[in-house]
């Protein structure tokens, strides 16, 4: 079942001192979950075996539902693909990603997109209630407004914490099995690309929206290597996308599964990194198919390319319709096998008999060579590299995350 976004900016519009408290969008998702619980048996499903899954902003919704008391008990598993978060470092108090993992108060949300929306709709009445009445009667499309309410709010009912509580097993967090993961280059779709910069410091500052002083600190740390090809703009982008990958995606998501697994907040937790993807947004203009070479008219996935944000979705759902090589097919089968097993049992490792009965010999062989996907159990992970064959590894860029103020120990102790 797919839940569509139906409410737009009204789904998160919040006004202090009224019953307009935001989170109607999350409430709509909870209603859809309840409908699923009530009706899934009619479609041959089991209401006690429901898994929620989302990518990007959808992963943000999954994270929100994990900490929403009205949603708890309506699902037994959760998969968050490329959840956004982080950005409280390098002189910044937040960035685009932060708003998906940290929740505003009603007053904070209203300050950002409250009166601005009223004014753009021409609702200039003296009282708030009259403004609300006016907005309800607005005949146009408010989704086209310059200002939008898109932030999850601490409304006291659907969400009552500043962020997902993970430091202990508690009633505010769903004690379920979870999978979190990232693509290898999620950040390439979320950092800037400054075309007319001439030095690495200038490029990093422009790409990341930070001061040159903080850009220099990235260089001085030597944690994000600069590979000099002679093209300072492209070479600096490679550094910027890695910083953004860690800052917005990897660090907070690795910290999330570590904290939730070791504190008992989650029943079990698994982490992955997608090593094989196709296409996606890339400001450099090199898409995610890999370089075109003899024998690879659709791109060679064995050569370096960006594993971009959102370009792993066909791997999760088995909908890839263009194959660059046989490994694209096999890796898709492996990934859907992991996710399918998790949805069925809460454990991403499919039984060998299941694969043998269906003749999935290549998948079975790859699983046997790699070994079981182990759940997160320590500050080292582990994680699963999704490819053909898959591979086991430890959490990535731990030193970089510490530099960016997102060490997993700090998170477990109550950091961002």
* Residue the block writes with tokens 């103020």: 405
Tell which wins on pLDDT, 280 or 122. Answer: 122
Q: Is the pLDDT of residue 411 over 70?
A: no
Residue 99 lies in a domain: no
**What percent of the chain has pLDDT above 90?**
80
Tell which wins on pLDDT, 358 or 243. Answer: 243
State how beta strands 391-393 and 383-386 pair.
antiparallel
Please, what's the b/e burial string for 204-242 (b: 16 or more CB within 10 A of its CB; e: otherwise)? bbbbbebeeebbeebeeeebbebeeeeebbebbbbbbbb
Give the mean pLDDT of the chain: 92
Residue 307 lies in a domain: yes
Tally of domains within the chain: 1
Q: What is the model's pLDDT at position 413?
A: 44
Tell which wins on pLDDT, 363 or 289. Answer: 363
Confirm if 248 and 190 have CB atoms less than 8 A apart: yes
Confirm if 344 and 49 have CB atoms less than 8 A apart: yes
Q: Is the pLDDT of residue 306 over 50?
A: yes
Confidence of residue 249 (pLDDT cuts 50, 70, 90): very high
Q: What is the model's pLDDT at position 88?
A: 85
Q: Is the pLDDT of residue 412 over 60?
A: no
Residue 112 lies in a domain: no
Residue 215 lies in a domain: yes
Residue 19 lies in a domain: no
Please, what's the b/e burial string for 295-321 (b: 16 or more CB within 10 A of its CB; e: otherwise)? ebeebbbeeebbbbbbbbbbbbeeebe
Q: Is the pLDDT of residue 415 over 60?
A: no
Tell me the C-alpha distance between 338 and 315, whole Å. Answer: 11
**The whole model's pTM is what?**
0.95
- CATH number of the domain where residue 333 is located: 3.40.50.1820
Tell me the C-alpha distance between 282 and 259, whole Å. Answer: 32
pLDDT digits (tens, 9 = 90+) for 153-197: 999 999 999 999 998 898 999 999 999 999 999 999 999 999 889
Q: What is the model's pLDDT at position 99?
A: 87
pLDDT digits (tens, 9 = 90+) for 389-399: 999 999 999 99
Residue 299 lies in a domain: yes
Q: Is the pLDDT of residue 143 over 90?
A: no
Tell which wins on pLDDT, 140 or 245. Answer: 245
Q: Is the pLDDT of residue 27 over 80?
A: yes
Residue 140 lies in a domain: no
Q: What is the model's pLDDT at position 416?
A: 44
Q: Which domain holds residue 210?
A: 48-94+172-412
Q: Is the dihedral of CA 98, 267, 410, 383 positive or negative?
A: negative
Of 43-52, 101-110, 370-379, 405-414, which range is least confident?
A: 405-414
Tell which wins on pLDDT, 284 or 315. Answer: 315
Tell me the C-alpha distance between 187 and 56, whole Å. Answer: 12
Residue 108 lies in a domain: no
Of 135-139, 232-236, 355-359, which range is least confident?
A: 355-359
Confidence of residue 409 (pLDDT cuts 50, 70, 90): low
Q: Is the pLDDT of residue 288 over 80?
A: no
Confidence of residue 330 (pLDDT cuts 50, 70, 90): very high
DSSP character at residue 385: E
């Amino acid at each position: 079942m797919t839940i569509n976004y139906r409410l737009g900016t009204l789904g998160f519009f919040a006004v202090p001192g009224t019953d307009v408290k935001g989170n109607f969008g999350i409430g709509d998702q909870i209603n859809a979950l309840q409908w699923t619980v009530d009706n899934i048996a009619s479609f041959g499903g089991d209401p006690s075996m429901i898994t929620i899954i989302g990518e990007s902003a959808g992963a943000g919704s999954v994270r929100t539902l994990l900490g929403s008391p009205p949603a708890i008990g309506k699902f037994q598993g959760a998969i968050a693909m490329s959840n956004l978060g982080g950005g409280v470092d390098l002189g910044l108090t937040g960035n685009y990603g932060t708003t998906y993992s940290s929740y505003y108060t009603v007053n904070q949300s209203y300050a950002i997109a409250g009166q601005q929306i009223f004014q753009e709709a021409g609702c200039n009445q003296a009282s708030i209630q009259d403004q609300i009445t006016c907005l309800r009667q607005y005949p146009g499309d408010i989704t086209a407004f310059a200002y939008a309410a898109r932030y999850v709010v601490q409304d006291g009912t659907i969400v009552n914490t500043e962020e997902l509580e993970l430091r202990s097993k508690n009633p505010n967090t769903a004690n379920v099995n979870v999978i979190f993961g990232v693509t290898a280059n999620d950040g390439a779709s979320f950092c800037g690309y400054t075309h007319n910069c001439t030095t690495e410091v200038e490029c990093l500052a422009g790409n990341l929206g930070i001061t040159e002083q903080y850009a220099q600190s990235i260089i001085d740390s030597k944690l994000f290597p600069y590979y000099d090809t002679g093209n300072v703009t492209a070479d600096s982008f490679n550094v910027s996308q890695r910083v953004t990958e860690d800052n917005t995606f990897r660090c907070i998501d690795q910290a999330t599964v570590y904290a939730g697994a070791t504190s008992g907040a989650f029943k079990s937790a698994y982490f992955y990194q997608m090593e094989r993807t196709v296409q996606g947004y890339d400001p450099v203009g090199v898409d995610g198919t890999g370089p075109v070479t003899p024998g690879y008219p659709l791109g060679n996935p064995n050569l370096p390319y960006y594993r971009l944000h959102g370009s792993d979705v066909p791997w999760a759902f088995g909908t890839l319709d263009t194959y660059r090589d046989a490994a694209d097919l096999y890796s898709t089968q492996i990934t859907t096998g992991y996710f399918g097993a998790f949805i069925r049992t809460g454990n991403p490792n499919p039984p060998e008999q299941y694969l043998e009965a269906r003749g999935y010999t290549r998948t079975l062989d790859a699983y046997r060579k790699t070994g079981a996907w182990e759940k997160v159990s320590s500050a080292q992970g582990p994680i699963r590299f999704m490819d053909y064959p898959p591979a086991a590894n430890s959490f990535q860029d731990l030193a970089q995350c510490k530099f960016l103020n997102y060490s997993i120990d700090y998170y477990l102790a109550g950091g961002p």
